[in-house]
Structure formats: C-alpha cells, structure tokens
Amino acid sequence: MTLPGLLEWFRAPFITPPRQWHPILVHFPIVFLFLEAALLFRHAPRPRRELQSAADVFLRLSVWSMIPVAIAGIHDAGLDLGRGNPLWLGLQDRWRNALNLRSSISAHVFLISLLFVLTAVRLIVRARIDPATLEGKKAWIELGLAVLGLVLLVIGTYAAAIVSHP
C-alpha cells in the first residue's frame, strides 16, 4: 500500500461518514477498561494515590463511552431492517430478540449489558467511597471485579465477532 492510499484510508471517514458507527466507536471503552485494569493491577499490591486517580478516570471514561457505543450498536442493527428510523428499528429488534440467546448478537447484547451494569455500579461505589480506602482487601476486590469485567468483555466480543468475522 502506498502512502497516499494509506492517507486516503484515514481521511475517508471524515469525507464520507461510515454507514455503521459501532465498529469504529467500540474500541474506546475496550481500551479504557484495559487501562483501568492495568492501573488497578499495579495499584493493588502497593497502593498509590496517583494510580488510583488515573484508574478512576479510565473507569469514568469507559462508562460514559459505552453509552454512545450502545446507541450506535442499536442503530447499526436497524440499518438492514427495512424503511424507517434505524435506531427505532434496531431497538425494536433487540427488544423482540432479547431472550433469544441462541443468537450470537443477543448473547453479545446480554453479556455487554452485564458488563455495563458491573462497570456502572463499580463507578458509583468508587465515587461514594473515600479514595484512601481503596487499599488492602478492597483494592484486590476492585481488581477482581475489573478482571471479571474484562472476561465479560472478551466473551461478549467473541459472541459479536462470530457474526462479523465468520
């Protein structure tokens, strides 16, 4: 690939926006969750205030970035469902198929919804506690919950990848 070809690839989304936004946006919360877990991994054995503060920032970023990613996913699901508002069509489709866990997309939505709830609860609890108390056993519990979130993320991502990368 030539340099102009590579530059065109980076420039294309700004000139002709993509039809689907979920695949582009989804990487932000993934990176934020991994960075937060890495900081907690470093923080747990030897608590340091600056590591916890940085982990808190990445936890906050991951929760807030999951919201537009979810909206984009619902929108993208509705793109091929006929005429009408893709967001509304995608929402109706996800609601009708929410409990059909034989569908890899429904499994993906279920697992990532669990991840969002776990991450949001962790954020709320962390916002309510004194930052100095995330030491000792509490730091290891928080790290364990972050790792549980990463497990949900990996399994949920695999469920979605079955569809997009057969």
Convert the pLDDT of each residue in 68-100 to its tens digit: 999 888 888 877 788 888 778 888 888 888 777
Q: Is 14 domain-assigned?
A: no
Q: Is 55 domain-assigned?
A: yes
Contact call for residues 119 and 63 (beta carbons, < 8 A): yes
Q: Is 66 domain-assigned?
A: yes
Q: Is 13 domain-assigned?
A: no
Tally the domains of the chain: 1
For residue 52, give its domain range. Answer: 21-164
Q: Is 59 domain-assigned?
A: yes
Q: Is 113 domain-assigned?
A: yes
Q: Is 34 domain-assigned?
A: yes
Convert the pLDDT of each residue in 31-49 to its tens digit: 999 999 999 999 888 888 8
Q: Is 4 domain-assigned?
A: no
Rounded Cα gap, residues 76 and 53, in angstroms = 35
Task: Please state the pTM of the whole predicted model.
Answer: 0.81
Q: Where is pLDDT greater, at 15 or 148? A: 148
